[in-house]
Chains A and B, each alone.
Chain A
Amino acid sequence: MKRVFDLTLTLCAAVVLAACGDGDVSSTDAVETASGAVSDAGTQESPKPGREYDGTVSKPGSPFAMSYRIVGTPIVGSPVTVDLRVDSMLGSREVTIDYRINDLAAMSLHEAQPDQVRIAPVENESFVLQRVTVVPQREGRIYLNVSASYETDEGSASAIMAVPIQVGAGGRELQENGEVQLDENGEAVRVLSGN
Chain B
Amino acid sequence: MKFAAKTRLAPLLALALAVTACGGGGSSASPGPTPTPNTAPTADAGLDQTATEGDIVTLDGSGSSDVDVGDSLTYAWEQTAGPNVVLSDPNIAQPSFTSPDVAIGSPAVLSFQLTVNDGIASNNDTVNITVLEAQDKVTIAGRLFYEFVPPIIRGSQCDGLDFGSTVERPIRQATVQLLDANGAVLDSTLAADDGSYSFSLVDADIEVRIRVRAELKSSGPASWDVEIRDNVDTSPNPPPLDRRPLYVTQWALFSSGVTDITDANFTASSGWSGTGYTGDRAAAPFAILDTIYTAMKTIVAVDPTATFPPVDGFWNVNNTPVSPTNIDIGELSSAFYDSGIDSLFLMGNANTETDEFDDHLVLHEWTHHFDDTFSRSDSIGGSHFLGESLDLRLAFGEGFAHALAAIALEEPQYCDTGAIPGGAGSFGFNTETNNSGTQGWFNELSIATLVYDLWDTNPDGTDTGSIGFGPIYDTMTGPQRTTPAFTTIFSFAAELRPMLPETDRDFVDTQLNRENIDTGLVDIWGDGQTTTPSGARNGGRDLTPIYTEVPTDGSIANVCINNDYVVDDVVNKLSDWRYLRFTTPTAGTWRVTAQANPVPPPTNDPPNPDIRDRSDPDLYIWRDGRFVTSGRSGDADIEIMERSFDAATYVIEMQEWRHEDDDAASDFPSRVCFDISMVAL
Contact = CB atoms under 8 A, between A and B. Distances in A.
Contact of A17 (B183, B317, B338, B428): B338
Given A127-B567, A152-B155, A57 B321 contact: yes
Of the listed residues A1, A23, A28, A152, the one surrounded by the most CB atoms of chain B closer than 10 A to its CB is A23
Nearest to B340: A11
A77 interface: no
A149 interface: yes
A103 to B, nearest CB: 10
Contacts of A85: 568
Interface string A167-189: 00001101111101101100111
A56 interface: yes
A61 interface: yes
Interface in A125-168: 126-127, 141, 143, 145, 147, 149, 152-164
Contact of A193 (B250, B384, B622): B250
18 contacts: A4-B570, A19-B394, A23-B383, A23-B570, A24-B324, A28-B662, A51-B662, A57-B334, A87-B568, A154-B154, A155-B158, A157-B427, A158-B424, A180-B245, A184-B183, A190-B248, A194-B267, A195-B269
Of the listed residues A5, A19, A149, A152, the one surrounded by the most CB atoms of chain B closer than 10 A to its CB is A19
Interface in B408-429: 414, 416, 418-419, 423-429
Contacts, number: 351
Nearest to A193: B280
A50 interface: yes
Interface in A1-27: 1-5, 8-26
B325 A89 contact: no
Interface stretch (B395-403, B505-513, B520-528, B584-592): B395-403
A97 to B, nearest CB: 11
A65 interface: yes
B568 A194 contact: no
A30 interface: yes
Contact of B336 (A4, A20, A152, A177): A20
A4 B381 contact: yes
A158 B252 contact: no
Interface string B177-213: 0000001110000000000000000000000000111
A8 B248 contact: no
B357 to A, nearest CB: 15
Closest 8 CB pairs of A and B: A23-B383, A21-B334, A154-B155, A55-B323, A50-B569, A160-B425, A155-B157, A89-B387
Interface stretch (B29-37, B303-311, B360-368, B468-476): B360-368
Contacts of B339: 11, 13, 15-17
Contacts of B382: 2, 4, 22-23
A191 B419 CA distance: 25
A51 B418 CA distance: 27
B336 A18 contact: yes
A123 interface: no
Interface stretch (B7-15, B372-380, B451-459, B551-559): B372-380
SS of B interface (majority): loop
A65 B384 contact: yes
Contacts of B377: 14-16, 19
B561 to A, nearest CB: 14
B662 A1 contact: yes
Contacts of A155: 154-159
Contacts of B271: 177
A32 B398 contact: no
Contacts of A23: 323, 333-334, 382-384, 568, 570
Contacts of A177: 271, 280-281, 316-317
B38 interface: no
A188 B572 CA distance: 39
Contacts of A11: 339-340
Nearest to B486: A14
B244 A61 contact: no
B508 to A, nearest CB: 24
B620 interface: yes
A147 B372 contact: no
Contact of A89 (B154, B185, B267, B385): B385
